[in-house]
Amino acid sequence: MYRGSAHKFGITDISFYPFDSLAFLSSSYDHTLKLFSSETLTASASFDLNSVVYAHAVSPIAAHLLVACATQHPIVRLVDLRTGAAAHALAGHAGAVLTVGWSPIDEHILASGGTDGTIRFWDIRRSAGQLGVLDLEDSVGILGDDGLGKGSKSVSQAKAHLGPVNGLVWADDGRHLVSTGHDEKIRVWNTIQGSNTLASFGPLVKNKTLSRQLPCLVPSNFVGGGEDVFFFPSEKEILMYQLFEGKLLKRFQNPGSSQSIDLGVRAKRASLKSRVVDLAWRHHSVEFYSGHGDGTIRAWKPRLPEDIAADNDEREQEIAEENERKRKRQVLEDVFQDLTRKKMIFS
């Protein structure tokens, strides 16, 4: 990449532009959002937001060209790629905004989560903007009868998590939102009603980083009705859950990782290197990828029947070879024992 167009500090988020694979966006601790060409790898536009940009999001369906940016300031900044303006802001959070996500079914609806523990819904067409705030204690709903505020009650002090919210992912159908927070809880919300579905995912969830901690939802076309599943990067392992029941389906361990009880500096550095930092599903394929603190990227895919058969054949071959080695060792031992039993005559 041409260094003159690169970020000055660490990159916090990167994504392809949904309507043109020849363009991608990146945000950074250097306060900028940049638009790059994937052909030339140079920046075609750069926006200085005067604040750390923790994450950004582009609507997958919108006609508008607005990029929502989660910033260190308690506002969501909207950058218009068409005009180059970055003045539009959504105020309401009481702390830094860590994560944002556009509705996959309504181009004007946006969700955001921040260090104040709240998840806020916005309609960018409204002057006030904010539609409602999710409440972890509300299993009925606060966004009203139509999901857009009709008949809703005010819960301005409600919390979605008892700690910073650093992950938001919409389900394909737009009817549910999955959130993660520093209370080490994963919550599934009904976005039509704004209610907590009360799905519980147990004590294995680990999440204490300010960087985004996004669940990876399996696209609905790969799963049966009501069998939605997702993966979660929980420190040194990847957890696979059933979305609505909270059932733990599988734990994926990093090859070579181990749990260390040494709390020294070296152990902490090793722990950071082995941490799972991000997950991404490969579109049109049954596999996902994981990024790790040591710079490695791993591919995960299901074991097909032919893979299992090949593994069984290999195992049978290994067993046969081991049995042959044991037979040869036994022959040598028998010869040695026979020699030691014979009387030796010296003349």
Domain termination site, one of 306, 322, 337: 306
Q: Which residue has the tokens 């029947």?
A: 305
Number of domains composing the chain: 2
Residue 238 bridge partners (DSSP): 233, 252
My answer on whether 215 and 324 are in the same domain is no
pLDDT in tens, 103-137: 999 999 999 999 999 999 999 988 667 888 999 98
pTM of the model as a whole: 0.78
**134 and 199 in a common domain:** yes
CA distances from 44 to 28, 62, 65 (A): 16, 21, 15
Asked whether residue 211 falls in the same domain as residue 314, the answer is: no
* Exposure class string for 267-306: b at 16+ Cβ within 10 A, else e: eeebbeebbbbbbebeeeeeebebbbbeeeeeeeeeeeee
Beta bridge pairs of residue 181: 165
- Residue 39 CA to residue 24 CA, distance in Å, equals 10
Q: Amino acid letter at 199? A: A
DSSP result, 98-167: EEEEE-SS-TTEEEEEETTS-EEEEETTSSS-EEEE--TT-SS-SS-SSSSSTTPPP-TT--SSSS-EEE
Maximum mean pLDDT: which of 8-22, 59-73, 144-158, 324-338: 59-73
Residue range of the domain that includes 337? 307-347
Per-residue model confidence as pLDDT tens digits over 223-274: 766 678 999 999 889 999 999 989 999 998 876 555 444 455 555 555 566 7
pLDDT class of 70 with cuts at 50, 70, 90: very high
CATH number at residue 109: 2.130.10.10
| Confidence (pLDDT) at 329 | 80
Q: Around 91, how many Cα atoms within 13 Å sit in the side-chain half-sphere?
A: 3
Same domain? 298 vs 334: no
pLDDT band for position 2 (cuts 50, 70, 90): very low
Residue 245 and residue 269 share a domain: yes
Q: Say if residue 232 is in the same domain as residue 84.
A: yes
- Determine how β-strand 75-80 pairs with β-strand 119-123: unpaired
